[in-house]
Amino acid sequence: MKKWCFLAVLTLFYLVSCVQKQGKKDLKTYFKQEFNTELPAHVHTLIVLDEVGCKGCNVSLSNWIQKKALNHEKIWVLVTAAGAHLDISPYLNVRYKNVFIEQNIGAFRELQLCGSSGIILLEQGKIQKTECLTAQQLETQFQLLEERIK
């Protein structure tokens, strides 16, 4: 009998945790809550710049963003780095219409899309593909960004 009660309680906890996961906010809700802005349908790429993961990869991504993606109407940049391990001052000093600096550090990570810098491909505001930045795939990921910038 104790075994059945234990299994019933365990199953209940499992079901409750599944319901809570489904209730998590999506990308559109995140931008509305964090930045009071709508994620427009014409934005096809979201670049996430974080300081977690490969430091060289993050610096390379930041350099690429500064050279090619600032004020691009179809590419948004989300800076989730606090600036401890990555220089984010180029994004703080000037107000770009497509760059968003996360004030509530960690809020984006709650979406569990990527635990580091990455590329999120969008279609009509919905996530089509997520690419977390890795040293092994860095060249391919930059090629993907080059294709998206056109």
Average pLDDT, the chain: 87
Q: How far apart are CA 121 and CA 143, in angstroms?
A: 14
Total H helices, total E strands in the chain: 5, 5
The reported pLDDT for the residue numbered 28 is: 93
Q: Are 34 and 68 in contact (CB under 8 A)?
A: no
The reported pLDDT for the residue numbered 149 is: 87
Residues 6+ apart with CB under 8 A from 109: 80, 115
* Residue 103 structure tokens: 């004030």
52-100 pLDDT, tens digit per residue, is 999 999 999 999 999 999 999 999 999 999 999 999 999 998 889 999 9
Q: Are 117 and 129 in contact (CB under 8 A)?
A: no
120-134 pLDDT, tens digit per residue, is 999 998 999 999 999
Structural domains of the chain ordered from first start: 24-149 (3.40.30)
End-to-end alpha-carbon separation of the chain, Å?
65
Please state whether beta strands 118-123 and 126-132 pair in parallel, antiparallel, or not at all (unpaired): antiparallel
Coil, helix or strand at residue 101? strand
Coil, helix or strand at residue 36? coil
Band of pLDDT at residue 4, cut at 50, 70 and 90: low
DSSP for residue 114: -
> Which residue in the block uniquely carries the two structure tokens 């409750």?
16
